[in-house]
Amino acid sequence: MTKRDLKVKIDELSSAVGTFKGLQIEVGRIYDETWEETMGPTPFPSVGTFRDWDRKLLDRYKPFYMPFCDLCCLCTFGKCDLTGDKRGACGLTMAGQQSRIVLLACCIGASTHCAHARHMLDHLIEEFGRDAPIEVAINTNVEAPHIRLVCGIRPTTLRDLEDALDYVETQLVQLVATAHTGQEGDNIDFESKAFHAGMLDHVAMEVADIEQIATLGMPKGIAETPMTEIGFGSIDTSKAVIMCIGHNVLPSVDIIDYMMENDLFGEIEIGGLCCTAHDNSRYDKRAKVIGPISWQLRFLRSGIPDLIVVDEQCLRTDILIEAEKLGVPVIATSEKSMLGLPDRTHDNPDTIVSDLVEGRTPGALIIEPRKVGEVAVKTVLQVAPKKKDYKVLDYDEISSLAEKCRNCMECVHACPNNLPIMEAVQAAAKGDFEPLGEIYPLCVGCGRCESACPEDFPLITFFNKGAEKRILDEKFSMRVGRGAVTDVEIREVGRGIVFGEIPGVVALVGCANYPAGGGDVARIAEEFLNRRFIVVATGCAAMDMAMTCDKEGLNIYEKYPGNFDAGGLLNIGSCVSNAHITGAAVKIANIFAKRPLRGNYEEIADYIYNRVGAVGVAWGAMSQKAASIASGCWRLGIPVVVGPHGSKYRRNLLGRKENEEDWMVYDARTGNRVYTGPAPEHLFYAAETTEEAIVMIAKLAMRPNDTTKGRAVKLSHYIDLHKKYYGSMPNDLHYYVRRKADLPFTMREEIMEELEKVGWEEDKIAIPDPTLLERMVRRRE
């Protein structure tokens, strides 16, 4: 269905009523029905449409709340103490307050992607017109699975994407309103609303990515995209260096265009941090990826950038202060992040350049991307030669500063990972810089240590110095983000995934707030690649996994192919590309299983939950966007594992495997209620260690629909990993072995020994045509 504007213009109309001249009638939008698929039951669902579905999930996966704060301070009745069974002045409980904060976090995350999508869409419509066609991926008919699924529309032009965003925006307003004092009071209803925000987020992300793929020439689902470079060493410091930070590619695109039009790639290097870097490299592989979000301060302190361009999301809000230390100007390009800078959007570009180069202003706000392109390029060419005097602290200066350390431990207590910063500083005072260098790969780059230090030590600079011998020339290859998984790929692997013969799809996504450095992401990825899982990646995780090499100097992008098949490693792209990962699960239900997609959310989610062994992993999840992305996975029945910092999202959604009654489903063939075991056991789970996460990921890939062969494959990985990391057989195999045919051949005897100890009964666990939806039962016995 496509909506169209109806405009009727009549020069002269004579009727019984009279004669009208210059008559013009406009009827907003009318529907142009060309899509043959019948409309499903839930197009454009409202806040409460999927309440029953959400409650089915939340009955199994009850929230375990871990309040981050015992108070509510959102209205002037407060502060209210909600500890234990106390209620606030509005009557809200602690559980209600925690779920309310979860909802708000998801709304912020979804709004951020939606606002990003809207900003780009307005601009791209202006540039390419509303009728610009959408082509998202090669060999692909299902161009926008989330928009089809949720909205019930099939977008063909940029205009159609406006309808999807109009819907998301409207719903987000409804959701935020429910968090007002004296509205929702039930924590499970808050949780359901958080799921709704997550579902909306995946629509918004899909809009954002397909509009940029369609109009900016980014890769369209190509498996072997070009390799780009990542790391400090990827930047040619003999050139003037523009550092672009954020998520919205539009200003960077115009910088690249201006460089191309003026043949300046030989004089200027453009490098990016965070998702803008991904999207820059998708636009032009000559754009370098400096690193993830956590590298903002460390790259600034390297002294390398000659100009900073910020767009939106995940920026350091003190970027102006940092830029001033470095002696370089900042160009802000979004109304969402204006940084107090003067609006120069309508000024003459040469005047702006002159002011920036001469330091008459620390920066400029320029909302028009084309002007950003011209101003940035002209500015950096003049700033770079002037900035040559900038000097990074040398070893003697650091030693001298370090001697003033007060031994107060403030740095250690401020560090999210309690890294031994003070000890490293004290070693530096004695001329030993190695401990500072050891902090570097573990540091999340937040700078809280500096803020806490009573001596104002520039500790991030210290860490850089400690590691500089090995990092400055360090560069790695990273496959450029490919965008969506194609329909052809889905057709080829759908069967293997649904029957469990491909043991699972592991999505490594999200931010860089790691407990022990980004190397863990590469380790998790490789563990599953070696086991023939499909591994997909986006955002900072996709970058961090590039920065670990084996003995031959190869990283995982160089060792594993980029196609969506067993043992494939796919860099899907930036944050907004996450929609393609969940979209692939949706497409499996639609393309492989032929389930109708259009406005048919519950059935598709039920299919994915029971059949598609996908697991999301956000090892360094930090932001509200990560919360809403995860929430969109939960509603689709996809479990998500986060690192220990993810426990700060205030609650996990945990199953209780021993409660048999929690794991009953309908057998769609008979209508009988049958027990299928706890698969998947959890919906949202924070792991304490990487090893724990790896074992849990393998376990969460099991689904009730697994064939015996598929279950045997999945069990073999779960058992093998458990033995590897826990040093023993798992003690819960009786929940997952349904019949002897499920047993991996080589482990048969040792598993049976374990099962006999706990009185396992064959066929107690059913292998039905599983569904949580009674309406999906085809006939009753």
Partner 1 sequence: MMAARERLGQTAEIAGPKKAFIIPKPEVAASMIKRSNNPLLVVGSKAAELETGDGDAIDFAIRVSNTGKMSVVATGHLVAEFRKRGAEGIYSMQMMNLGDRLRDPDWMGFDCKGGYDLVAFIGSIYYMGWLVLSGLKNFAPELRTISLERSYQPNASWSLGSMQKKDWKEVLDVIVKSLEEGE
By CB under 8 A, tell whether 71 contacts partner 1.
yes
689 forms part of the interface with partner 1 (CB under 8 A): yes
Residue 351 or 418 having the CB closest to partner 1: 418
Q: Does 410 bind partner 1 (CB under 8 A)?
A: yes
Q: Is 70 in the site for partner 1 (CB under 8 A)?
A: yes
Select the span of 307-315, 316-324, 706-714, 727-735 touching partner 1 (CB under 8 A).
727-735
Q: What span, in angstroms and rounded, lies between the C-alpha atoms of 253 and 286? A: 12
Cα dihedral 395, 396, 401, 404, rounded to 10, equals: 120
Residues 253 and 273: their CA atoms lie apart, in Å, by 14
Query: Binding residue for partner 1 (CB under 8 A) from 691, 706, 742, 754?
Result: 691
Number of residues that bind partner 1 (CB under 8 A): 47
Smallest separation (angstroms) from partner 1 to the CB of 682 = 8
Residue 85 within binding range of partner 1, rule CB under 8 A: yes
Instruction: Return the number of the residue (39 or 71) whose C-beta is nearest partner 1.
Output: 71
Shortest distance, CB of residue 56 to partner 1, whole angstroms?
19
Tokens (6 digits) for 248: 């919205």
Whole-angstrom distance, CA of residue 283 vs CA of residue 750: 53
**Among the residues of 319-447, which ranges form H helices?**
319-326, 349-357, 369-386, 395-402, 410-414, 421-429, 434-439
Instruction: Give the span between the Cα atoms of 392 and 326, in whole angstroms.
Output: 9
For partner 1, which stretch binds (CB under 8 A), given 104-112, 122-130, 349-357, 683-691? Answer: 683-691
Beta 268-273 vs 288-291: how paired, if at all? parallel
Q: How far is the CB of 75 from partner 1 (least distance, A)?
A: 17
Please state the closest distance from residue 414 (CB atom) to partner 1, in A. 5
CB of 532 to partner 1, least distance (A): 23
Structure tokens at 395: 């070893």
* Shortest separation between residue 494's beta carbon and partner 1, angstroms: 32
Q: Would you count residue 78 as binding partner 1 (CB under 8 A)? A: no
User: Is residue 385 within the footprint of partner 1 (CB under 8 A)?
Assistant: no
Of 87, 70, 139, the closest CA to residue 483 belongs to: 139
For residue 536, give the DSSP letter.
E
Q: How far is CA 493 from CA 1, 259, 332, 668, 717, in A?
A: 29, 42, 44, 24, 19
- CB 598, CB 35: distance < 8 Å: yes
438: contact with partner 1 by CB under 8 A = no
Listed ranges 62-70, 263-271, 399-407, 424-432: which one lies at the site for partner 1 (CB under 8 A)? 62-70
3-state secondary structure of 198: helix
Q: Residue 53 CB, nearest distance to partner 1 (Å)?
A: 23
C-alpha span between 68 and 362 (Å, rounded): 38
Q: Least CB distance from residue 675 to partner 1, whole Å? A: 20
**CA-CA distance, 250 to 263, in Å (whole number)?**
20
**Among residues 340, 326, 378, which one has the least CA distance to residue 357?**
378
Kindly tell me which residue out of 725, 739, 740, 773 binds partner 1, with binding defined by CB under 8 A: 725
Q: Which amino acid is at 399?
A: S
**What is the DSSP code string of 258-324?**
HHHHTT-TTTEEEEEETHHHHHHHHH-TTSEEEE-GGGHHHHHHTT--SEEEE-SSS--TTHHHHHH
Element housing 111 (H / E):
helix 94-128
CB 150 within 8 A of CB 582: no
Assess 81 for contact with partner 1 (CB under 8 A). yes
Residues contacting 435, CB < 8 A, separation 6+? 420, 423, 424, 427, 428, 466
Residue 686 makes contact with partner 1 by CB under 8 A: yes
Stretch that binds partner 1, among 108-116, 630-638, 681-689, 766-774 (CB under 8 A): 681-689
Q: Is residue 345 part of the contact set for partner 1 (CB under 8 A)? A: no
Nearer to partner 1, 168 or 693 (CB): 693
Q: Given the complex with partner 1, which of 94 and 621 has the nearer CB atom?
A: 94
69 near partner 1 (CB under 8 A) = yes
Number of residues that make up the chain: 781
Provide the token pair at 661: 């009654």
* 497 to 218, 243, 506, 527, 709: CA distances (angstroms): 28, 41, 12, 18, 12
Contact 518, 537 (CB under 8 A): no
Q: 175 or 439: whose CB is closer to partner 1?
A: 439
Buried b (16+ CB within 10 A) or exposed e, 575-591: bbbbbbbbbbbbbbbbb
Closer residue to partner 1 (CB): 449 or 484: 449
Residues 650-669 that bind partner 1 (CB under 8 A): 652, 654, 656
What whole-number distance in Å separates Cα of residue 421 and Cα of residue 409?
8
Amino acid at position 557, single letter: Y
For partner 1, the closer CB: 283 or 619: 619
For partner 1, the binding residue among 20, 31, 68, 395 (CB under 8 A) is 68
Question: Which of 24, 170, 728, 746 forms a contact with partner 1 (CB under 8 A)?
Answer: 728
**Residue 517: CB minimum distance to partner 1, A:** 15
Shortest distance in whole angstroms from residue 199 CB to partner 1: 24
**CA gap 5, 597 in Å, rounded:** 26
Span from 340-348, 386-394, 413-421, 669-677 in contact with partner 1 (CB under 8 A): 413-421
Considering the complex, what minimum distance in angstroms separates the CB of residue 523 from partner 1? 14
Angle between helices 578-587 and 624-635 (to 10 degrees): 0
Candidates 1-9, 110-118, 604-612, 724-732: pick the segment binding partner 1 (CB under 8 A): 724-732
Which range of residues in 205-213, 233-241, 422-430, 642-650 is near partner 1 by CB under 8 A?
642-650
Asked if residue 506 lies in contact with residue 528, where contact means CB atoms within 8 angstroms, the answer is yes
| Candidate list 18, 22, 28, 84; residue touching partner 1; CB under 8 A | 84
Among 141, 183, 400, 418, binds partner 1 (CB under 8 A): 418
Q: What is the C-alpha separation between 779 and 632, in angstroms, rounded?
A: 32
Q: Are 7 and 567 in contact (CB under 8 A)?
A: no
Interface region with partner 1, contact rule CB under 8 A, candidates 67-75, 149-157, 542-550, 555-563: 67-75
645 touches partner 1 (CB under 8 A):
yes
The residue (of 62 and 714) whose beta carbon lies closer to partner 1 is 62
From the CB of 64, what's the least distance to partner 1, in Å? 4
CB of 593 to partner 1, least distance (A): 33
**CA pair distance 495, 527, nearest whole angstrom:** 23
Give dist(CA 66, CA 649) in Å, integer: 9
Residue nearer to partner 1 on the CB measure, 607 or 634? 634
Q: How far is the CB of 452 from partner 1 (least distance, A)?
A: 6
Q: What number of other Cβ atoms are within 10 A of residue 141's Cβ?
A: 11
Smaller CB separation from partner 1, 141 or 728: 728
Q: Among 233, 416, 441, 519, which residue sits at the site for partner 1 (rule: CB under 8 A)?
A: 416
Q: Which is nearer to partner 1, 71 or 393 (CB)?
A: 71
- Residue in 51, 370, 386, 648 binding partner 1, rule: CB under 8 A: 648
Q: Given the rule CB under 8 A, which of 42-50, 291-299, 332-340, 686-694 is the region that contacts partner 1?
A: 686-694
Draw the binding track, 508-537, toward partner 1 (x: CB under 8 A; -: no contact). -------x----------------------
Inter-residue contact 48 to 629 (CB < 8 Å): no
The token duo for 358 is 């001469």
Binding positions for partner 1, rule: CB under 8 A: 62, 64-71, 81-85, 94-95, 410, 413-416, 418, 448, 452, 515, 644-645, 647-648, 652, 654, 656, 682, 685-689, 691-692, 695-696, 725-728, 731
